[in-house]
C-alpha cells in the first residue's frame, strides 16, 4: 500500500496525520508512506521526528479581500499545484489522505484530478475552509463530530470517525506518566497549554495569576509555545521563586505523559487537544481563541462545556483573576472535579484511527 498524507501548519493538523500513518504502519508494516507539507509549517520538524519522509510544496493562505498578498498567494498556489502533481506522479500513491491546513488544498485537488482515491479528515465541529472546498472533489469525508455533517452537502461521502489520536494517549498509564512528571505530594498539577503555537492571551493571564497568587496551592506544567517562551520568562515576577515552583517549557514533546500526569488542564480549544484530554478523562478550563476562522474553537469548547466536562472562559473575559477563580471553583470541590472527569471520559471517542484505517482499506477494495 502506498499512501500520501498531507496536513500541516499547526500541530492540530499534523498529529492526526501521524496517528493515521502509525495505524497504517501497525496494520501494514510494508506500507510506504510519504508526507507532503510546507517547509515553514511545524510539520517539517514533527514529521521527520516521528520517523516519516516529508516532501515540501509552496503554499500560502488567501485573505478574504482583494490584495497584493492574494496575488502572491495565487502565484504560490500555482507552483504548489505543479509541485504536488510532480510528487504524486512520481510516488504513485494508492490513496491520498488530508488532515487539514492550506497545504492539503493543492495535494488533494490534484490527487482527485489524477483519479487517485482520496480521503479528508476534519477534526473540528466547524470545518476549515480547505476541507469545505475539497469536499466536492474527494471520495470520503471523515468527520469527528456528528454536528460537523451539516456543513457538508454530499452526505453520502461522510463518515463519523472521531479524531485520530496518537496511540500513546490510550496506552500510557498514570504510573508511567508520574515517572516523567513527578508531582508534589499535596499539590495538584495543572497543565497549561495554548495549543501547538501557544497563546499570548493565556500566557499573560497566567503571569497575572502568578503575580497575585505567588504561594498558591497548585503546581503548573506550562507549555508557553516556542515563540512566546523568552517573553514569558522575562515577564515573570522575579522576586518570588515562581520559576522554581513551576515547570515552564516552550513545548511539550511527550504530551501523552504530561496529560496523563496532571489533574486539570487549562488550554485553548483546539480540536486535537480536546480529543486527547477526553481520552485521558481529564477536567479542563477551556479558553477558545477568539480570532480563529469562523470562531470554530468556541464550537469545540461548547461541545465539552455543555456536557459538564469543562468550564469555558471566553478570551475577552480572561484575566489572572477569572482564571484563578475557575481553578479555585474546580479544585475546592473534589466531587465536582470527579464529575467533570467522568463527563470528560464519556465524551471520549477513541476509535478514530481504527475507523479511518477501515475507510482507507474500503476505498482500496
Ligand X SMILES: CC(=O)N[C@H]1[C@@H](OP(=O)(O)OP(=O)(O)OC[C@H]2O[C@@H](n3ccc(=O)[nH]c3=O)[C@H](O)[C@@H]2O)O[C@H](CO)[C@@H](O)[C@@H]1O
Residue whose CB is less far from ligand X, 87 or 277? 277
**Interface with ligand X, residue 164, by CB under 6 A:** no
Residues 99-138, mask of contacts with ligand X (x by CB under 6 A)? -x----------------------xx--------------
Residue whose CB is less far from ligand X, 83 or 288? 288
**Interface with ligand X, residue 60, by CB under 6 A:** no
Interacting residues of 331 by C-beta distance below 8 A, sequence separation 6+: 188, 217, 218, 263, 264, 337
Largest CA-CA distance found in the chain, in angstroms, rounded: 65
CB atoms within 10 A of CB 128: 24
10 marked among binding-site residues: yes
**Interface with ligand X, residue 33, by CB under 6 A:** no
Write down the least CB distance from residue 226 to ligand X, Å. 8
Binding residues for ligand X, rule CB under 6 A, total 26
Write down the least CB distance from residue 166 to ligand X, Å. 7
12 marked among binding-site residues: yes
* Residue found by looking up cell 502506498 in the block: 2
Residue whose CB is less far from ligand X, 12 or 352? 12
Question: What's the rounded Cα separation, in Å, for the pair 165 and 192?
Answer: 19
Binding residues for UDP-N-acetyl-alpha-D-glucosamine: 10-12, 124, 166, 196, 252, 297
Residues that bind ligand X in the complex, under the rule CB under 6 A:
10-13, 15, 100, 123-124, 193, 195-197, 223, 251-252, 255, 270-273, 276, 289, 292, 296-297, 300
Amino acid at each position: 500500500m502506498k499512501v500520501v498524507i498531507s496536513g500541516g501548519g499547526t500541530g492540530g493538523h499534523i498529529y492526526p496525520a501521524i496517528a493515521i500513518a502509525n495505524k497504517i504502519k501497525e496494520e501494514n508494516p510494508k506500507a510506504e508512506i510519504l508526507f507532503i507539507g510546507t517547509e515553514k509549517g511545524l510539520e517539517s520538524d514533527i514529521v521527520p521526528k516521528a520517523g516519516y519522509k516529508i516532501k515540501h510544496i509552496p503554499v500560502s493562505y488567501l485573505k478574504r479581500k482583494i490584495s497584493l498578498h492574494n496575488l502572491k498567494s495565487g502565484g504560490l498556489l500555482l507552483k504548489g499545484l505543479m509541485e504536488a502533481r510532480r510528487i504524486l506522479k512520481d510516488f504513485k500513491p494508492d490513496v491520498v489522505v488530508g488532515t487539514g491546513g492550506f497545504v492539503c488544498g493543492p495535494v488533494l485537488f490534484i490527487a482527485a484530478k489524477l483519479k487517485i482515491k482520496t480521503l479528508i479528515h476534519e477534526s473540528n465541529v466547524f470545518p476549515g475552509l480547505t476541507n469545505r472546498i475539497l469536499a466536492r472533489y474527494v471520495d470520503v469525508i471523515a468527520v469527528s463530530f456528528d454536528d460537523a455533517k451539516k456543513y457538508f452537502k454530499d452526505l453520502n461521502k461522510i463518515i463519523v470517525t472521531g479524531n485520530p489520536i496518537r496511540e500513546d494517549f490510550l496506552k500510557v498509564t498514570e504510573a508511567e506518566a508520574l515517572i516523567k512528571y513527578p508531582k508534589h505530594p499535596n499539590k495538584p498539577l495543572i497543565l497549561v497549554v495554548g495549543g501547538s503555537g501557544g497563546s499570548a492571551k493565556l500566557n499573560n493571564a497566567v503571569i497575572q495569576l502568578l503575580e497575585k497568587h505567588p504561594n498558591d496551592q497548585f503546581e503548573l506544567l506550562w507549555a508557553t509555545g516556542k515563540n512566546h517562551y523568552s517573553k514569558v520568562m522575562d515577564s515573570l515576577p522575579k522576586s518570588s521563586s515562581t520559576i522554581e515552583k513551576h515547570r515552564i517549557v516552550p513545548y511539550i514533546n511527550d504530551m501523552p505523559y504530561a496529560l496523563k500526569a496532571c489533574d486539570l488542564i487549562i488550554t485553548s480549544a483546539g480540536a486535537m487537544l480536546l480529543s486527547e484530554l477526553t481520552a485521558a478523562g481529564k477536567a479542563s478550563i477551556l479558553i477558545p481563541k477568539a480570532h480563529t476562522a469562523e470562531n470554530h474553537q468556541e464550537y469545540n469548547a461548547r461541545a465539552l462545556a455543555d456536557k459538564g466536562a469543562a468550564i469555558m472562559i471566553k478570551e475577552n473575559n480572561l484575566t489572572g483573576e477569572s482564571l484563578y477563580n475557575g481553578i479555585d471553583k474546580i479544585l475546592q470541590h473534589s466531587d465536582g472535579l470527579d464529575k467533570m472527569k467522568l463527563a470528560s471520559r464519556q465524551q471520549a471517542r477513541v476509535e478514530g484511527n481504527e475507523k479511518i484505517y477501515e475507510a482507507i482499506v474500503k476505498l482500496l477494495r
